[in-house]
A and B are shown apart, each in its own frame.
Chain A
């Protein structure tokens, strides 16, 4: 896929919110995975009109490639501002790829308590799974070459109103 044909990430956030809206009676708690997933989760919170603060997970301490790559040089604190025990949790990420980040995030979540359920909402699913992980809600089945890297970027400026946009890089 050529970079100029990338879909609009803000539109996709609204579509993702539409997919989640019918399930709000479960009172799901949103947990964004740094960094792209945190931005999407914050956007979903606005679009769905949720009043509760979102959780934020940095999976650096739970990654499975620590022995090869060492600790990520820039890790941010994981913040879970609600009681995980018994809650329906919706993990939010920008891109679902190998599934390893999702695995790490679920492991970290369980160190805070036993949730009633864990779902996964993503803007893009680019295939290439290495673990039995699937998204609960997804708006874009992205077809990309293995060497391509798809990331979400947020425009600089007023923190909460930074626009989200896709970046595609060829490795």
Chain B
């Protein structure tokens, strides 16, 4: 089946999901991001790649960090950035998603960064652009429902490569609410594509999707057992709204079993790194001593995220 993210030359024209992307493209994005890292430390923190292009941030769902880092990334590429707070605009008045897109195309948009609560919304937009013959307009998924958050997955891979160099010798644990996490899904696809031999999922049965083993993931319900000898620990945010359902007894109970404390982290390798996509709930999924400790690389993740988003936008914008 044709991958809707690739153009007829097999090059990345939209970034919708890490699933189905070849290793070579993931590596190209990480390598390009490495080149962009230096831009932030120059006198002029910009390169002219997207000069004269318009990037529209379409956030149908709130996210301050992701939207801000996409905005910084686009501005460092010299693009004009337009932030649309969709909840307060046309959609609230009843306009359909594709009508919104058509209107923005009429405003000469070049690239859409899309965050949407419904899985598949960025695919719908990319497919629509193809049908109306606008191969010169690109879509980057900034998180869709429970499905995917590919730039977060890529910045996580950048972080792991930065600290651990070689993917093929690693044991990586993802801890927490994997069932509702698009970050976890993107991470799992990226880790397996890049050749990580052992990916572990740790969490209570109610928060782990079924059939994880089919993705090549080992499942642990006991965190102590799962963390043993890991090189990388990726903590996920426990979404407060899950607490209201029947999925969990209480935040305190969750922290006792699945919160990352210094004691539990000591079971991983001594040089293990701790990652978190943010925003963190201190005392729910992570202890402050770990979040602020020497093994945490949570703030470098944010910095790397800008370079990774610059890489993704400049690569797709060049592949019409």
Contacts and interface: CB of A to CB of B under 8 A. Distances in A.
Nearest to A64: B48
Interface residues on A, range: 20 to 34
A75 B49 CA distance: 13
B38 A79 contact: yes
Contact of B35 (A60, A66, A107): A60
A161 interface: no
Interface in A123-160: none
Nearest to A78: B38
B318 A66 contact: yes
B11 to A, nearest CB: 7
B48 A62 contact: yes
Contacts of A61: 35-36, 39, 47-49, 314
B35 A75 contact: yes
B32 A75 contact: yes
A60 to B, nearest CB: 7
A58 interface: yes
Contacts of A107: 48
B31 interface: yes
Interface in B39-61: 39, 42-44, 46-49
Specify which of A71, A74, A77 lies most central, judged by the most chain B CB atoms within 10 Å of its CB.
Answer: A71
The 6 tightest CB contacts between A and B, nearest first, are: A70-B318, A61-B47, A111-B44, A71-B318, A77-B35, A75-B35
A32 to B, nearest CB: 16
Nearest to A110: B44
Interface in B5-63: 11, 28, 31-32, 34-39, 42-44, 46-49
B42 A76 contact: no
A69 interface: yes
A82 interface: no
16 contacts: A60-B35, A61-B35, A61-B47, A69-B318, A74-B28, A75-B31, A75-B35, A77-B34, A77-B37, A77-B38, A78-B38, A85-B43, A108-B47, A111-B46, A112-B42, A112-B43
